[in-house]
Amino acid sequence: MSVKLLYFAWVREKTGLGEETVDLPGDVKTITDLIDWLKARGPEFVSAFEQSDVIRTAIDQTHVPHDAAIANAREIAFFPPVTGG
């Protein structure tokens, strides 16, 4: 499955990427699976997702918890808790 991944704020700085498109293996079914898969890609992802419980996620621009299924997602974003306003 091909999906666009986006990274914001310090997650972006740590991965060194703003966005990328990846092909995911079939056994990556939830956000938690995806984080584990990303961490296996290299030290910058290990560092970015070290405290993975802090990181917030959105599928197709809607907030979701880490146990959310990613089936049919077009766009998945990772970011720290928001600090606007």
Least gap, CB of 69 to other proteins (angstroms)? 19
52/80 Cα distance (integer angstroms): 10
Does position 38 bind other proteins by CB under 8 A? no
Which residue intervals of 1-85 are DSSP H helices?
Answer: 9-15, 31-39, 43-48
- Segment contacting other proteins by CB under 8 A, of 21-29, 37-45, 72-80: 72-80
Of residues 47, 63, 65, 74, which one binds other proteins by CB under 8 A? 63
Q: Which CA distances in Å does 76 have to 23, 33, 85?
A: 13, 13, 24
Of residues 34, 58, 68, 70, which one binds other proteins by CB under 8 A? 58
Q: Which CA distances in Å does 37 have to 24, 30, 62, 64, 83?
A: 9, 11, 22, 18, 28
Does position 51 bind other proteins by CB under 8 A? no
Residues that bind other proteins (CB under 8 A): 6, 8-10, 12, 58, 61-63, 77, 79-85
